[in-house]
Structure 1
């Protein structure tokens, strides 16, 4: 029978039985195995992961700080708990004469039952890499916990300066916590073991939903904070505070502003027209027409303001500015004198109009285009326009 237990049989409990039935400091990867890693914590709570921290202490020697860890063997071997109660120094071999190499610093378990080493102990060891033009780190041996990759340049030794420790160390440590504990993420982000597992990912609390790590505000239905604005959306209708401080909503494909706009366009060039029918083109103006596109809000309604400084060459005739609303090639709201901005003056005067447009399709893009004309009975009369503008405010 393969079922194992601890502290049941009067005799015959093996080391393997004990390791397989431990339920203490473990972060699960499946129903039987756990993640190999270092227990988090530091003196005075200053750092997330201080165990087995390594630093250069002389030219070719490094110091490995005290710490606790677990190392998972094969599925039938169980997990090995290890402790380094005081720091330990290790010495690296001199560099190759021609090429650099990458050594691997590990905590290695020797278990004669599986490796025929005639040893039953745990050691901090250096797995020396092979020198080369593009050196690679050696493979991690069985029942070993990788701590650091150490780059050893060509020719270095104790007599010529040694290993450049500030740039040579690549931290490979990953943390583990007790079953149900919140895992502080250091190093690679690994998949969860069960829905409902939590981790602290750089200040954002996340929950494993069975397929991905989901930020905690998303699980609650709350607003994802600015500090986690790069977190992927979880569902249509989710809200977030974007990096530029605007509230956004996930529409199923992209993040869009909750309240789009406001939208604005203007033209400061003076232009005029002799046309008695509406035209989008003003003579002497470099850019025509004046047009503004906008996205209709969920309320289906907007407030439109438009105007300019305007005049006619006769105080008895009127200058008109009106707007046409289109969606693609479809005219939604045509030109209408009743809603135009108008003035009759030989001198430029400021005039504007504000109106509400409703019944729009939420999320659809519309365009407002300015048109101009003069009411005249003499062809020589003109209407002049300057500082023209269109502004759209979506209604909530």
Structure 2
């Protein structure tokens, strides 16, 4: 049957129909697969040491995905289950996995229809140890490191260090997937949300990536003047050396817009008409010369100020380098109250 329906056919429906049709739909993983996982609420399938080699798994609900043809199985565990681990190997340790497993005689060779919590035993090998590969319709809950020689007679398993939480969570479409084990999975549809543990992330299908939501504002970046210019040239704009004032290179944000601020002290009192300038120029994906559009200046006096300008229409992703500069009209080094000091150049990104 190509198109399957639920609660519609007058003569009933197969188990596959019920699983594949979106009855109590959970988050999609593809067109026909459900993201399997533990359903959040309390501490589902919690693990507690119950003896030297015994582990108790608590109650909980989950969805277990089989093959595409099988669909997804809703499962509930309504009472604690105690599992006993086999003794550790004589030479090497291993990792066993505690899983929620579904048996379906229509799709496997076990000849039974049931769900249970069980141990999938790993392979004893030299480090690094790896968890076992799981069969179909099997959801990993916990990994347990079983050391070589571990047994009830010699102290068993240290449950404080042996347990590794492998529960992942699933929710209905539109819900926010809680943080669980592992974040290295793709979203199933554009606009899907998840909790990364530090904030919300939204799946960007076009970019094929999870992105913080709302987008984290990019912090401003800045460069500060480290030394005075030589003031041995006049009436022309001069670049600071990289040692005197480091260049600042930035990547143009997606908006193509930034605020640029330069500030500091400039002074030239050699004559009432004498000037001093502190400026910047841009090179790379955007160019702009030193000049009155982007600098601060003083004429026949001293100024402590900043100037913030807006630049838009830049190429997103382009690299732009800002180079600080200076200019005095007269009164070279040694003149009356002539300086260009304490400069700071800052880029603020417009989102």
Q: Secondary structure at the match of 1:82?
A: strand
TM-superposed deviation, 1:357 = 8.4
* Residue 232 (structure 2) aligns with: 279
TM-score by length of 1: 0.64
TM-superposed deviation, 1:160 = 1.0
* Residue 109 (structure 2) aligns with: 116
Gaps of 5+ in 2: 234-240, 250-256, 292-296, 313-319
Map 1:242-391 onto structure 2 (within 5 A): 248=219, 257=220, 261=222, 263-266=224-227, 279=232, 291-292=244-245, 302=262, 304-306=264-266, 332=290, 352-353=302-303, 364-368=321-325, 389-391=341-343
Q: Does 1:57 align with 2:50?
A: yes
* Residue 208 (structure 1) aligns with: 203
TM-superposed deviation, 1:212 = 2.6
TM-superposed deviation, 1:128 = 1.1
- Over 3 Å counting, the alpha-carbon distance change for 1:196 and 1:326 in structure 2 is closer
**Quick one: distance in 2 between partners of 1:266 and 1:371?**
16
Q: Does 1:142 align with 2:142?
A: no
- Over 3 Å counting, the alpha-carbon distance change for 1:156 and 1:386 in structure 2 is farther
* Residue 169 (structure 1) aligns with: 163
**Quick one: distance in 2 between partners of 1:137 and 1:289?**
53
Deviations 1:67-94 (A, max 9, x none): 0111111111121111110111100011
**Quick one: distance in 2 between partners of 1:289 and 1:372?**
23
Higher relative contact order (CA 8 A, sep 6+): 2
Deviations 1:150-193 (A, max 9, x none): 11000011011111111111111111112332221312232222
* Residue 119 (structure 2) aligns with: 126
- Over 3 Å counting, the alpha-carbon distance change for 1:78 and 1:299 in structure 2 is closer
- Over 3 Å counting, the alpha-carbon distance change for 1:365 and 1:106 in structure 2 is same
* Residue 84 (structure 1) aligns with: 77
* Residue 185 (structure 1) aligns with: 179
TM-superposed deviation, 1:266 = 4.8
Q: Secondary structure at the match of 1:166?
A: helix
Map 1:210-225 onto structure 2 (within 5 A): 210=205, 211-218=208-215, 224=216
**Bigger CA radius of gyration:** 1
CA RMSD between the two structures? 4.3
**Quick one: distance in 2 between partners of 1:102 and 1:395?**
51
Determine which of 183, 189, 192 is the counterpart of 1:197. 192
Q: Is this contact kept in 2: 1:302–1:395, CA < 8 A?
A: no
* Residue 152 (structure 2) aligns with: 158
Q: Is this contact kept in 1: 2:96–2:146, CA < 8 A?
A: yes
**Quick one: distance in 2 between partners of 1:294 and 1:114?**
66
**Quick one: distance in 2 between partners of 1:306 and 1:64?**
72
TM-score by length of 2: 0.72
Gaps of 5+ in 1: 43-49, 219-223, 225-239, 243-247, 249-256, 268-272, 281-287, 312-319, 342-350, 376-381
**Quick one: distance in 1 between partners of 2:63 and 2:45?**
12
TM-superposed deviation, 1:63 = 0.6
Number of equivalences: 312
